[in-house]
Amino acid sequence: MKRFTAVLATLMTFSQPLQAADHNTSDLVTDFTLDNGLEVVVIEDHRAPVVVHMLWYRAGSADEPVGQSGVAHFLEHLLFKGTETLEPGEFSATVAKNGGTDNAFTSYDYTGYYQRVAADRLELMMKMESDRMVNIRLTEEDIATERDVILEERNQRVENNASALFREQKRAVQYLNHRYGVPIIGWRHEMEELSMEDALSYYGTYYSPNNAILVVAGDVTPDQVEALAQKYYGVIPANPDLPTERLRSQEPPQTAARRMTFVDPRVAQPYVSRSYLAPERNSGDQAEAAALRMLSEVLGGGQTAVMAEKLQFETQQAVYSGAFYGGTSLDRTTFDLVVVPTPGVSLEEAEAAMDQVLVEFLEEGVDEAHLERIKTQIRASEIYARDDVEGLANRYGRSLTQGLTVQDVQDWPNVLQAVTAEDIMAAARKVLNPKTSVTGYLMAEEG
């Protein structure tokens, strides 16, 4: 072994802002790998007799076969059906009966399953989770039922939400060739055709110990977790046919700015948003990503940010403005800007004002005092984050499924603190490139 979170809420879902949960590097973290390839991360916190058990697979919607969009999320639902030893629904019922909670989630690069239970129920969680890693049992009725469920989920989360539809279309315009342009939940016409064969093929390809990361956080010890992991996960053979690389279609050079207008009578608050193709955070080389995270804070991270100061307070052309960078990504990601104009200010005027702010920023640079305040806020947030064991488990799992290491996660706070004003400006000049941008208007009607 080696020691070692209204309009604003809606807008923030399309990217990952600078989180208040960057953890402290003094967290007691141990990681090791079983003989079958399962990576295990243990985060010790003995203040309460509670444990979070998370199993992450290095497979998400971007790993789906062409024509089967949504199958990763579909399979996530199906894993709550039966196995050889559990009846449909028995998994969650058992967790609840033992006083715990459970859920699952799918993203572009990963799928995760988790339970939060009393520490003495950890073995039961491992027994059940390892069981459904290999022993899923499905019927055609299961397929039909859950297909209807995910279609209704798309209705509720996307079709009935103009902003969600706008973001979906805009992302498809941003990515010319990469699967990140396909919605995680899937395109409706392809979701309607998902079959048992599709689900089981994805399951058989990606659900194996050598493609998984087990994260256990809370009132546990590494020796305890290792013994249980060996007992339940260690006996599962590695998948010898697991693809050795996560092969995805990559982006060609983007050489033309793109624009789109999404009109929907349900829009109550029009806004303009722009995304730029941006480099992701890479293992062992996180400096550029850190500069972009700091850039997002300097430009649009709150009421003292450059965009807020100029657009919301000085000219009063906006009621909200923000900048976001989703750096934790396996492949190229985006840097996003958004402006919600004040009533009476058109989207064209809001866009022009946003562009003027960017021009001035590139000329004037970063205010050193502002940068130091941001760094101080981040240092404080790292301390508070240690109270959120589930958040820490989520951070490690998400990072490791997207190509980072435990050491990268632990180094990240210091990498952020080392960012200089010059680093931020270099990142801004590189990323704020009109040729890789998509500018979108969300509005209720033309004109």
Q: Cβ-count burial of 267 within 10 angstroms (0-12 exposed, 13-18 middle, 19+ buried)? A: middle
Q: Nearest to residue 419, comparing CAs of 359, 366, 363?
A: 366
pTM: 0.91
Helix (H) or strand (E) holding 416: helix 406-417
Find out whether 393 and 54 touch, Cβ atoms under 8 Å.
yes
Q: Write out the chain's pLDDT in tens, 447 residues.
A: 433 323 333 343 333 333 333 334 456 999 999 999 999 999 999 999 999 999 999 999 999 999 999 999 999 999 999 999 999 999 999 999 999 999 999 999 999 999 999 999 999 999 999 999 999 999 999 999 999 999 999 999 999 999 999 999 999 999 999 999 999 999 999 999 999 999 999 999 999 999 999 999 999 999 999 999 999 999 999 999 999 888 888 899 999 999 999 999 999 999 999 999 999 999 999 999 999 999 999 999 989 999 999 999 999 999 999 999 989 999 999 999 999 999 999 999 999 999 999 999 999 999 999 999 999 998 888 778 777 899 999 999 999 999 999 999 999 999 999 999 999 999 999 999 999 999 999 999 865
Q: Give CATH superfamily name and number for 7-232.
A: Metalloenzyme, LuxS/M16 peptidase-like (3.30.830.10)
SS3 state at 84? coil
DSSP 257-314: -EEEEEE-TT-SS-EEEEEEEEPPPBTTB-HHHHHHHHHHHHHHSSTTSHHIIIIIII
Cβ atoms of 8 and 22 closer than 8 Å: no
218: left (phi over 0), alpha (psi -120 to 50) or beta: left
**At a CB cut-off of 8 Å and minimum separation 6, what does 35 contact?**
234
d(CA 424, CA 287): 10
Question: Which is the catalytic residue, given 76, 297, 351, 382?
Answer: 76
Longest CA–CA separation in the chain, Å: 66
The domain segmentation of the chain, as residue ranges, is 7-232, 258-443
pLDDT of residue 384: 82
- Please give the structure tokens belonging to residue 359: 């021009």
- Quick check: is 90 catalytic? no
Do 258-443 and 7-232 have the same topology in CATH? Answer: yes
Closest CA to 409 of 305, 301, 289, 261: 289
Residue in this structure with the two tokens 């990601």, named with its chain if needed? 333
Q: What is the pLDDT of residue 27?
A: 66
Cβ(259)–Cβ(437) below 8 Å: no
CATH number of the domain located at residue range(s) 258-443 in this protein: 3.30.830.10
